[in-house]
Structure 1
Amino acid sequence: MTSIKDNWQKGLPKELEIWGDWLSGETGDAEDRALRLSSNRPFPWWAKPLIPGQPGRIRVLDVGAGPLTVLGNVWDDKTVTIVPIDPLATEYDELLRKNGLTPPVRTIYGMAESLSEQFEAASFDFAYAGNCLDQTIDPIAAHREIFKVLRPNSSLISIHLANQGEEENYEGVYQWNFSLKESRLIVWNHSAQYDLLDECPEIGHHHFEKDGQYIKMTLTKGA
């Protein structure tokens, strides 16, 4: 029987193809492309209130960032270090080179399921994940690892399409679904079902909301 990991690995070439077209300029969102290539992009206003104490030096993790992080790092006199990770970082570097592009912040290799092997515990002030955690091999493990490397009282904001595994017929990297049920996040496919809050006791405050087809989550690590 083909495993989730096998299916996930088979889907990686498709991800490279999509990003290859996007980097070459074949995108319906030229503004997003231009912003990601900008070296003077502000740190997102919606993340600022979630940085505990707002220190002078802030370290931010962008999980599944693709070749170009969506986050800016300009915030007044603060030093914001963005650390974008992605399993395809090496391949993205080659695509960037082919298109003559230099990223403002270079994505490095990293798997969400093993962050604590790559980074020190409690070493990030904030984490962001956009349309990626439901495309991991193990979304529950990925969330647990994010909270291991976040400092106490620090937050993860993630934005994901609901039920994307179903929409994509469980092909390639689309092996899981995120669904909201009675203000709980359910991670599921046809073989398993998990309640994120039950599986991740590290989560203190949480807020889930539906915005069209998207689920927006703010998850704060306990003190």
Structure 2
Amino acid sequence: MKDNITGYTEYVDKWLSGIEDEIEFWDNYMRTEGGVSFYGFNETISPQKKFTLENDIPENLCGKEIKFIDVGSGPFSRCGLVSEKAKLKATYVDPLAEVYEYLKRANEIDNGITVETCFVELLDKKYTANSFDIVHMSNSLDHCFSAIDGIYQLLYICKVGGKVILRHHENEAENEHYRGLHQWNLSLNNNEKTFLIWRKDIKIDVCKLLEDYVDFELYPNQRENNGYWVFNKVVMKKKREINIGKNNYSEELLFRIYHYFIKIMIEKQKNGKDNTYELQMNPLIASIRDTYHSCANKKIKTSIKNAAVYGMGYVGRNVCFLLESIGIEVPIKMDTRGVGCGCIYARPMEEVDDFEDIDIAVVTAGGEDVYKKLIEKGFKKVTLIEDFLQYLNEL
């Protein structure tokens, strides 16, 4: 493992500066049942969520016990718990584990996992070499003090023949302007056609650096969660033992400061909640959430079987979730940006001509202008989102 202590203090200070926002985000997420992402909340917290890395389980381990670790898992982990191919023995670690567990208890959420405290740079202090069959990290390696040291640590705890799987947004530090936790860029969409880790003054070709130890598989622009989550996937199959050398990070000092800091943050959450995030929550999404619970309690019945939704931003996604939860299919999703809106099923209105079986079109963006265009296009019935929510609540 390389000695990357130079700049360590700067990275730690920047990381610490982003923790409060991270805690506030997850506090808001749990209290508002997903906030703007309400449509995916139930699946996120479900202890029955299917294991999303099924295709990465080697054939020789099917039906057997697999030791899996999700590093930087957050409170819920993207990976799911239930595998149909193997007996999953899973471990979840995150630097903010203590506060995540506190927030889950405070919001009475039990998603079937307990997150343990560990930094990726210090995995060798908690686990022995060759401990896990599959080691996973998603949207968190860019948060590290040293992303390269993080990869060495991931490979260290992975068994020879096992896999380290990374799933991250392209160049997240650039996208976030190096604010808070986002300190490194991970890239597959580059001129070199390789796996790069970089920031303004450093660029490392990871494939070249680790070619003696790892066979790489690179999958840019993958999609999950109905196409809403776009990520690059890197699969590293460990070929041989890897020497990480002396770990120079001052872990004892770090943990002591960290433990004290977390206690302060928990007390702040207990005694003086800052409602900035909640106040910014879209009131329409709050109405959709309330309607969802109302419909679930009443078990409503409606003659509507098929619907179209126009506008596939957060409001539209939540409307689709609401409709599907009460048995209304949404075969047509429209947005002026098409798939550029982040939904792979979205089409511009002009390209939609297969709406004969659509009972109603719900407008979540564009207001009266879009309403009139859909009427002119020939949809049987068109309604604005506010009127549609009122209709559902009156059933």
What TM-score, normalized by structure 1, do the two folds share? 0.90
Counterpart amino acid of 1:121? A
Deviations 1:124-143 (A, max 9, x none): 01012110111111110111
Report if the CA contact (8 A) 1:71-1:82 is conserved: no
What TM-score, normalized by structure 2, do the two folds share? 0.52
Report if the CA contact (8 A) 2:34-2:40 is conserved: no
Match of residue 59 from structure 1: 67
**Secondary structure at 1:198's aligned position in 2?**
helix
**In the alignment, does 2:22 pair up with 1:15?**
yes
Match of residue 206 from structure 1: 216
Counterpart amino acid of 1:110? C
Report if the CA contact (8 A) 1:51-1:126 is conserved: no
**Secondary structure at 1:95's aligned position in 2?**
helix
The within-5 A match list for 1:51-200 is 53-54=61-62, 56-76=64-84, 78-180=86-188, 181=190, 182-200=192-210
Structure 1 Cα separation of the partners of residues 174 and 86 of structure 2: 42
**In the alignment, does 2:5 pair up with 1:5?**
no
Identity of aligned residues (%): 23
Match of residue 238 from structure 2: 221
Displacement of 1:146 in angstroms is 0.5
Report if the CA contact (8 A) 1:162-1:179 is conserved: yes
Report if the CA contact (8 A) 1:7-1:173 is conserved: yes
Report if the CA contact (8 A) 1:143-1:200 is conserved: no
Against the structure 1 CA distance between its residues 210 and 103, is the aligned structure 2 distance closer, same or farther, given a 3 Å change threshold? same
Judging by fraction of residues, say which structure has more strand.
1
Q: RMSD of the alignment, in Å? A: 2.2
Counterpart amino acid of 2:234? M
Report if the CA contact (8 A) 1:52-1:154 is conserved: no
Counterpart amino acid of 1:119? Y
Match of residue 251 from structure 2: none
| Stretches of structure 1 lacking an aligned partner (at least 5 in a row) | none
Judging by fraction of residues, say which structure has more helix.
2
Structure 1 Cα separation of the partners of residues 20 and 35 of structure 2: 18
> Which structure has the larger Rg over C-alpha atoms?
2
Structure 2 Cα separation of the partners of residues 48 and 209 of structure 1: 13
After alignment, is 145-154 or 161-170 more displaced?
A: 161-170
Structure 1 Cα separation of the partners of residues 110 and 212 of structure 2: 37
What is the total number of aligned residue pairs between the two structures?
223
